Structure 1
Amino acid sequence: MSITVTTWSLEQTSPADQRPASVPDADIRIVRAEVPSPEFSRFLYTAVGGDIHWTDRLGMTYADWQEWLERPGVETWVAYDKGTPAGYVELQAQDEGAVEIVYFGLVPAFRGRRIGGHLLSYGVARAWDLADRWPGLAQTKRVWLHTCSKDGPHAMDNYLRRGFTVFDTKVEEEEGDPAAPPGPWPGAGI
């Protein structure tokens, strides 16, 4: 089966573009996962993306995850609600001062509680000051990301509210069944 997927690429080209969300009325802490942990990163990836068709990293081996997480300028920031992982944002430094928000999202049980805007705001701020934590990296000149029609229904609105603007749109056919996301682990129900 083939599905039509629209992918939008968005960017900020100045720290002044940021429009932070309000802090939610909850016990939310956002902490950088400083020790590369393939197990934890794969957990976050599948817990957040299992119901919205994130599949591109499912075939990565332990060594692939370790290699990715040890790259200079790759950071994972995790939002915790009363000590429970609620979502994450993953950053990657790229050439010429670009920083990509590679992954961002919330575990389904934490969606709709105003955590996403706060986490995205925090992650964008960490993208703009990434070089401060990684000597030798260029200062950030651009923060960018992409989202697609398979992502959550509020994703695009959250990005636009945080000050991102669309710079590219692509429409492609992909193999897949829109009614059958992989879930957080094999055999798991959504």
Structure 2
Amino acid sequence: MTTHTTPLPPGYSPLPPGHLANIVTFLEMGAKPDPLPAALFPPEVTLTSFDPADLAGYRALFRRVGDPWLWFSQAALPDAELAALLADPQIESFALRQDGEAIGILQLDFREAEACELLFFGLAPGFTAKGLGGALMRAAIARAWAKPISRFWLHTCSFDSPAALGFYQRMGFTPYAMQVEVHTDPRLTGDLPEDAAPQIPLIRPRSP
């Protein structure tokens, strides 16, 4: 993600045609919890590593979890780049499964020295508010701090679920920075269907 240090001026700032802007909040956990939380899943729910060769399965789960919130980064990755990411030993990729059905995603990125980024985390529609999100986050925290890190961090944005920011804070993360992200609307590029995230207005560029 490209970042800029020049602040936006106070007031309204116009966007280029076909682009979106959202507020990104960065959060971190700067010390290993003591004791580490236990991830308790129901018997029919398991957390399994992704097969790096299963690009179709990963894309389907990413879309199932992320389309309602306009997740697009992995959806737009070419197969070779996605395969390299899933095969990277410093990135741990998991599917949460209920009776074999993939219902959640968890990815941990250890490529930064002494740090772990919660790269992707979420549940498919219909599986939230059942305690599974808390159990999945406890599993993420335990796996992250099992490595020699001093910082576990993530970011969420105003396109995510309204409950996301409060959830991360309850799980022990502290906000430390905010940024404005501007990017092309992925529904206009074909990376996501036009009916994805209907709560976010789709504004087409005007014809010249």
Instruction: Report if TM-score (shorter chain) is over 0.5.
Output: yes
Shift of 1:96: 2.1
Q: 2:144 matched to 1:127?
A: yes
1:116 to 1:58, Cα distance in 2 relative to 1, 3 A: same
Percent identity, aligned pairs only, is 27
Maintained 8 Å contact 1:13/1:143: yes
Q: Aligned equivalents of 1:91 and 1:65: distance in 2?
A: 15
After TM superposition, the structure 1 = structure 2 runs for residues 92-171 of structure 1, keeping only pairs within 5 Å, are 92-129=109-146, 131=147, 139-171=148-180
Counterpart for residue 176 of structure 1:
185
Shift of 1:24: 5.8
Q: Deviations over 1:30-70 (max 9, x none)?
A: 22225443222212211110111011222211111111111
User: Highest relative contact order (Cα 8 Å, sep 6+), 1 or 2?
Assistant: 1
Q: Aligned equivalents of 2:112 and 2:20: distance in 1?
A: 33
Q: Gapped runs of 5+ residues in structure 2?
A: 1-17, 198-208
After TM superposition, the structure 1 = structure 2 runs for residues 3-152 of structure 1, keeping only pairs within 5 Å, are 3-16=20-33, 20=37, 23=40, 27-33=44-50, 35-129=52-146, 131=147, 139-152=148-161
Q: How many residues align?
A: 180
Q: TM-score, normalised by structure 2?
A: 0.74
Q: Aligned equivalents of 1:34 and 1:102: distance in 2?
A: 17
Select the structure of larger CA radius of gyration.
2
SS of residue in 1 equivalent to 2:154: strand
1:188 to 1:150, Cα distance in 2 relative to 1, 3 A: closer
The residue identity in structure 2 corresponding to 1:148 is C
Q: What's the RMSD between the two structures over aligned residues?
A: 3.1
Shift of 1:83: 2.0
Q: Aligned equivalents of 2:53 and 2:136: distance in 1?
A: 20
Q: Gapped runs of 5+ residues in structure 1?
A: 132-138
1:37 to 1:187, Cα distance in 2 relative to 1, 3 A: same
Maintained 8 Å contact 2:50/2:58: no
**Runs of 4+ off more than 6 Å:** 187-190
Shift of 1:164: 0.4
Maintained 8 Å contact 1:8/1:169: yes
1:20 to 1:154, Cα distance in 2 relative to 1, 3 A: farther
